[in-house]
Amino acid sequence: MPITQKSLSIFDFEGLFPNEDSCVSHLFNSRFGQNYACPKCDKEGPWYLNKYKRFACSRCGCQISGRSGTVFSYSNHPLRTWFRAMLVFTHTRTGISNAFIARHFGFSHETSWRLANKIRSHMAWHCGTPIFGGAGEHVEIDETLIRGIRRGGKGSCRAIIFGISDRKRVSTMIVPKRNRATLEPIIRARIRPGTIINSDGWRAYDHLSEIGFEHIKCNHKIGQWVSEEGAHTRHLDTYWTTLKRSIRGIHLHVSMDHLEKYIKECEFRHTFRKKPADMFWDLISKHPPPLPFSGKRYRKG
Ligand SMILES: [Zn+2]
């Protein structure tokens, strides 16, 4: 498939994926490829698309569905609908509401909610858990509060989000507390020793220089946004604004159970902000590795 740095338009999409077969073929070829060794007869391809929208080995007839083990498995929606929904997701800057998906595709609210949340989970998988920094590299850390998060009929609460950024990409997570005991193990696990860590003056970060990092603080309380050494947390501060705009402006009410998906959706969009075309192609082409072959036919997809 041609990959350009320009975001794919709906007309480009219609040209590249005119029917369901083209989508099924793309999924199979991006996950397995025509040279995939058949798990039953051990011979390499070729594979042909049969009437059940599965690929079958041309020698022994063993069938493989490209959907198995992906976000598309156990879904009755055509693959083309999934691809179109993913395209719509990649065309916005601050996120997309479930109500918009319902209107756009003519789905019920429940269906659009399920579909959108599956896509958000898939985006979360793409975000992964990157390790940041290295000797002499600058990494920003910061935490923020998001208020008004629902707690399943028990009123609202605030969520604490901790973020790490190397100014190219961001990784965020929900943390129960923002004290030293909570944040330091995360910092140790996600940032390489010797990294120059930029943070604000929050007291939980006071001991970072004792555990193998070079630590530079900006004291925001006295209006210092750039330290004398030139360190700052401007990248994460800007990111928090985008995240909160997405949650308050688009989703309005988010429950604690699903907050992580919305946070990861924003993170995914931020990671690919300079490569908008890759956003769509990665979503439809990169999936978890195929499951071991069970010897039985795949039930769905
Ligand atoms: Zn075979």
Q: Are residues 59 and 166 in the same domain?
A: no
CA of 45 to the centre of ligand 1 (A): 8
Tell me how far CA of residue 229 lies from CA of 80, 152, 196, 213, 215, in angstroms: 52, 46, 11, 16, 11
Q: Are residues 94 and 169 in the same domain?
A: no
Domain annotation covers residue 121: yes
- Determine the structural domain holding residue 196 and report its residue range: 138-260
Q: Are residues 110 and 145 in the same domain?
A: no
Domain annotation covers residue 144: yes
Domain annotation covers residue 270: no
Q: Are residues 144 and 122 in the same domain?
A: no
CA of 34 to the centre of ligand 1 (A): 12
Phi, psi (rounded to 5 degrees) for 197: -95, 125
CA of 57 to the centre of ligand 1 (A): 5
Q: Are residues 177 and 208 in the same domain?
A: yes
How many CB atoms neighbour CB 273 within 10 A? Answer: 12
Domain annotation covers residue 29: yes
CA of 31 to the centre of ligand 1 (A): 17
Predicted pLDDT at 299:
46
- Per-residue pLDDT of the chain in tens (301 residues, 90 and over written 9): 444 567 888 999 999 999 999 999 999 999 988 888 988 888 887 899 988 888 999 888 888 888 888 999 888 899 999 999 999 999 888 888 889 999 999 999 999 999 999 999 999 999 989 999 888 889 999 999 988 777 776 777 888 999 999 988 899 999 999 899 999 999 999 999 999 999 988 889 989 889 889 998 887 777 777 777 777 888 999 999 999 988 888 877 788 888 899 999 999 999 888 888 889 999 999 998 876 666 554 444 4
Q: Are residues 76 and 151 in the same domain?
A: no
Q: How many domains does the chain have?
A: 2
CA of 60 to the centre of ligand 1 (A): 4
Q: Are residues 29 and 103 in the same domain?
A: yes
- CA nearest neighbour of 73 among 262, 251, 290: 290
CA of 80 to the centre of ligand 1 (A): 27
CA of 29 to the centre of ligand 1 (A): 16
List all residues 6 or more positions away from 101 whose beta carbon is below 8 Å from its beta carbon: 85, 88, 107, 112, 115, 116
How many CA atoms lie less than 13 Å away from 167 in the CB half-sphere?
Answer: 12
As a whole number of Å, the end-to-end CA separation of the chain is 23
Q: Are residues 153 and 123 in the same domain?
A: no
Taking a C-beta distance cutoff of 8 angstroms, is the pair 280, 6 a contact? no
Domain annotation covers residue 133: no
CA of 300 to the centre of ligand 1 (A): 20
Residue 230: which CATH number? 3.30.420
Q: Are residues 236 and 174 in the same domain?
A: yes
Predicted pLDDT at 95:
83
CA of 52 to the centre of ligand 1 (A): 17
Predicted pLDDT at 293:
64
Domain annotation covers residue 297: no
CA of 289 to the centre of ligand 1 (A): 20
Written as one letter, the residue type at 20 is: E
Predicted pLDDT at 296:
54
DSSP-derived 3-state class of residue 49: strand
Q: Are residues 143 and 49 in the same domain?
A: no
Examine residue 185 and say whether the peptide bond preceding it is cis (omega within 30 degrees of 0).
no
Domain annotation covers residue 292: no
How many CA atoms lie less than 13 Å away from 146 in the CB half-sphere?
Answer: 31
Predicted pLDDT at 295:
55
Q: Are residues 150 and 183 in the same domain?
A: yes
